[in-house]
Structure 1
Amino acid sequence: MTRRTGLASRTGLALAAIALVPVLLGGCSAQGSAAAPAGPAEELRLGYFDNVTHAPALVGLEKGLLADSLGGTKLRTQIFSAGPATIEALSAGAIDAAYIGPNPAVNSFVKSAGQSVTIVAGAASGGAALVVRAGIDGPADLAGTTIATPQLGNTQDVALRAWLGEQGYDTDTAGGGQVHIAPTDNAQTLALFQSGKIDGAWLPEPWVSRLVLDAGASVLVDEASLWPDGAFPTTVLLVRSEYLAAHPETVRALVAGHTASVDWLTAHPGDAAAVINKKLTEDTGKGLSDAVITRALAHVTFTTDPLAATFPVLLGAGVTVGTAKPGKLDGLFDLTALNAVRAKAGVAPVGAAGLGTE
């Protein structure tokens, strides 16, 4: 798979971005809807994962940055474990926005001919890898093994299938082929690996670090090594296009709060682990060990840049491995609200790579 990417960068934006909400007059545009905006929404239903790669959501919720920015709009949340399930909820109208990996977002956009979702910001780059058991020292040792991914068609699932294809292995979406791919919930993946029932997994953080430190796995492929400068999107923030068209003010507030969360993460690296762990404990009843969360955070960059230039590559990989249909990505991004926040903070705008508005 040929990898092309823009440069990832830490935003360093001020927390005062929240105060920008009332004066962001540019407005977000949504694809495929001419309905007049209905004003701020009564509520915003937000999906996210309990992953370190979703730390902007975890921090934004734990520190109240998202709720403060949304003002009178009530914030409701729902936790997911993989992108395709999140897209199902978005498509059903059960949630309005989500932190999610890029491949499920692309698949939804293409299947709907550009009508379903709009990416309004990046959230995280990096933090995904293939980890394996002892005795697997290179690609040649993978024949006949079983490797887990979070869900069929999710971002790590596509990355694994594409990489295996480059190594000369045949796979299929039913789990057959020379390497058997088993889409599995991340928590179950850890247990299956510890019991010897699978040979490895391509996962996001903190699950990479959990398998390495808690289960003795080793990293065979750090996905960052496959991209120029190691920059590739792991998490983006997207909204239902219908919701964006009806409530652009609310989406602008969401983007401002999200930007404040990313800025807090980049400005407080020494405090990030404690805040993230507090939210994980509230959500799951158990936090991560200091060693796991420290290792996980060392492999993730938090950025509002969605790295738009990588998305045609991601779509191409999905098409090649059979988890996506070919299509156009024109209009996938609306970065106008994000760039208004960045401009106010004196930070350079990010680009949509010709795939939307900036």
Structure 2
Amino acid sequence: MTDTSLEIFAVAPPGLEVALLPEFRALGYKDARYGPGGVTLHGGWSDVWRLNLELRGATKVLARIGSFRAMSLAGLDHRAEEFPWTDTLYSGTTVRVEATCKRSKIYHAGAAIERIERALRKAGMEPSAEGDVTLKVRIEQNIVTLSVDTSGESLHKREHKEAIGKAPLRENLAALFLRQAGYTGTEPVLDPMCGSGTFVIEAAEIAEGLQAGRSRSFAFEHLASFDEMDYKALRRAVSVMKGPARFYGSDRDAGTIKGAKANADRAGISALCDFQCMPVSELQRPEGHAGLVIVNPPYGGRIGDKKQLFALYGTLGKTLKERFAGWRVALVTSEPGLAKATGLPLTQGPAVPHGGLKVWLFQTPPLK
């Protein structure tokens, strides 16, 4: 029988909850449901491990380990002391406690954290701002919900990227934008302003079926439920990737291209990627089938003065229209006016918060 003892919540980037759901379907989680903030399903600890390993679009995977009603700080004290912490946490584990309070008689998050930390100390844990495990306490309408952050660092950190360009796009956002652009791993992908290579590397990894979290560790490895042998069974072996290249990146900055090549090499997919130093005006269509051009160009709120960028966007659009018939285009920008300057037949997707701005994914049908 399938273990469904845990409520598992995968946090999505704001505005992209719907885009995250297909990843769950592809992994066989037919009962997963999206809602505000992310995707929820019921499963066991092995599902928690697998989701951390596999999900490309999520930010975190939280496991909800319990809930109870508390109408006062004294009541929270009592219920927290009774809670079976050792079912989830080893004695001696360092734990960071975070709390939010909404529409409840307990309204002071700091006071709630003090009560939870006191209970954890009595159970043998060590509260610490630098804890190996983060416990998230949500108090809403007098119901206290306890969740463990099983990921640790944000899941966009794949841990094989060292070279990072200016204003980089996070890997999980890149993966979700690729999915929204209709990419399934079967077509070539080209990024003519590739920066550190995020779109190119994500596309190559998706095509090869690589696990997003294969190069990193997770907070769940510090939990009492962790079984190293069972976890190892979920990790797929990675074979040496062989060409020819099907994923293309270019940028006018030679140092950026050097960094992108190094990132692809650390990810183990350099044989599938072709990075070239060139301006957009020199861009040439790769041989073979048409595919997807996806690009996150500079925009005024992010890099430089947007008034100076209209010519760049215009050159991009002209080059693609002249040389990339049959290819689809997906473009991320915070400025609809700059997208319009390409002259491409773009449609605008929903707004997505990114780095203090709102960005949109603009898309075209196959160019004629």
For this structure pair, what is the TM-score category when the shorter chain's length is used for normalisation? under 0.3
More strand by share: 2
More helix by share: 1
Greater C-alpha Rg: 2
Normalised to the residue count of structure 2, the TM-score between the two structures is: 0.26
Q: Which has the higher contact order (CA 8 A, sep 6+)?
A: 1
Report the TM-score, using the length of structure 1 for normalisation. Answer: 0.26
